[in-house]
Amino acid sequence: MPVVRIAAILLGLVSTTLAHANSSQRTFVASTGVDTNAAFNCSLVTPCRGFAAAISVTSPKGEVIVLDSAAYGVIPAITKSISVTAPAGIYAGISVFSGDGITINASATDTVVLRGLTINGQGGANGITITNALVVHVENCVIANMTGIGINQAKGLLEIKDTIVRNNGNIGVYVVGPGQANLDRVRLEANNTGLAAEFGGAVTMQDSVVTGSPNIGVLANNPVDTGSRVTISRSLISSNNYGIYVDGTGETGPDPAQVSISDSTISESVVGVHVSKGGYGFLTRNRVTGNGTGVEVTQANVFMDGNNLVGNLGNPANVERDIITDAISFVFTQGNNLINSNAVVPANVPPTPHF
């Protein structure tokens, strides 16, 4: 064989070996691992200790797999398609003492999967911050005790399934336009505000629970003319200050802030549903009961079909307030709405005290 050809073959073998040494399709972390094992691609027999080290040697569209229960450190940057997975029965913790637990700043074509992780705030700001990606999947995770936001999303599509977001100081899940999110079997518990869509954010939520929010359970807000919207079905919104809050402030065009909610229960809150300042509320086949005020409308529009609004008398005077509107709002009812009490107050008077 000619010497030149032999040299070329040897060079190709060396290049292939180096390429494999720099990344792997599947990497591993373990409580007994060491991050210097990144030199061996965090393999099954030589795992790394932390997520960041393993991710650095995982090829695009690859997987980081947790082998046993431990804390595995924050992830300062995910910049490619990747999956980080803890199998069922294994605790994979991320303790966040400052900053964010996981930051995702990938390309607009990248998909990131986070499965089975527990992100626990110990003074840190946000659990997961998404500045860019095509899709981010958060599955079977717990995000708790952050001083700021549990999941903070600005772009792409966020898919949250079978996840608990609790006790975060600002917002549980925050979606800012053009970001979009879908929540399926999610529990938002004891966050200051459970779920918020602002600046054109769009959210759908089904088969979920929002409870224990001292501020707002679900918010759709237009600080500027951006058309934020939330669609909810088959869910429980309970024991919040405001259950649903729609604020069209800044609305000047044809795309208002709006919440559509169907086949759900809104209960045990100071105000069940509040719609104001040009916002839109669409209520279909819901049970709104046990709130201080059921539905409160101020300079806004609400459409109701087939709802049950009774027993909203938790205010100090024990007076039933199922629907309270001001004189310039529009409440359109059709179908078989059951309503015990409906009051209209002058336009310059707030519909009800917020106690």
**DSSP symbols for 143-180:** EE--SSEEEEE-SSEEEEEEEEEE--SSEEEEEETT-E
Average pLDDT on 132-157 reads 98
pLDDT of 27 above 60: yes
Looking at residue 329, what DSSP letter applies? -
Q: Residue 6: pLDDT above 50?
A: no
The model's pLDDT over 80-113, given as tens digits with 9 standing for 90+, comes to 999 999 999 999 999 999 999 999 999 999 999 9
Does residue 282 form part of some domain?
Answer: yes
Supply the range of the domain harboring residue 343: 170-355
H, E, C per residue of 7-60: HHHHHHHHHHHHHHHHCEEEEEECCCCCHHHHHHCCCCCCCECCHHHHHHCEEE
Domain membership flag for residue 266: yes
Identity of residue 117: L
Residue type at 55 in one-letter notation: I
pLDDT (0 to 100) of residue 341: 66
Phi, psi for residue 17 in degrees, rounded to 5: -60, -45
One-character DSSP codes across 246-266: EE-TT--SS---EEEEES-EE
Model confidence pLDDT, tens digit, residues 115-126: 999 999 999 999
Bridge partners of 188, per DSSP, are 165, 210
pLDDT of residue 16 exceeding 80, the answer is no
Of 185, 174, 200, the residue nearest 235 (C-alpha): 185
pLDDT interval class at 343 (50, 70, 90): low
Q: What is the pLDDT of residue 347?
A: 58
pLDDT tops 90 at residue 35: yes
Residue 23 has pLDDT above 80, yes or no: yes
Amino acid identity at 129: T
pLDDT of residue 333: 85
Answer yes or no: is pLDDT of 338 > 50: yes
**Does residue 159 register a pLDDT over 50?**
yes
Q: What is the mean pLDDT of residues 323-333?
A: 88
How far, in Å, are 72, 136, 274 from residue 158 at the CA level?
Answer: 23, 5, 26
User: Mapping DSSP to helix (H, G, I), strand (E, B) and coil, where does residue 37 land?
Assistant: helix
Residue 58 has pLDDT above 80, yes or no: yes
Higher pLDDT, 227 or 341: 227
**Has residue 55 been placed in a domain?**
no
Using DSSP's 3-state secondary structure scheme, residue 46 falls into coil
Q: In what order do the strands lie in the sheet with 293-298?
A: 75-78, 100-105, 126-132, 149-153, 171-176, 193-198, 216-221, 242-247, 271-276, 293-298, 323-326, 342-345
Segment 42-65 shows an average pLDDT of 98
Give me the CATH number covering residue 208.
2.160.20
As a whole number of angstroms, the distance between CA 161 and CA 75 comes to 21
Residue 108 forms part of a structural domain: no
Number of structural domains (the chain) is 1
Amino acid 57: pLDDT: 98
Whether 320 maps to a domain, the answer reads yes
Residue 262 lies in a domain: yes
Read off the pLDDT of residues 161-170 as tens digits, 9 standing for 90 and up: 999 999 999 9
Scored b (16 or more CB within 10 A) or e, 141-157 reads bbbbbbebbbbbbbbbb
With a cut of 50, say whether residue 217 has pLDDT above it. Answer: yes
pLDDT of residue 13: 37
pTM of the model: 0.90
Q: Does 123 fall in a domain?
A: no
Q: Is residue 317 part of a domain?
A: yes
Average pLDDT over the chain reads: 89
Scan for tokens 């991710």, then name that residue. 55
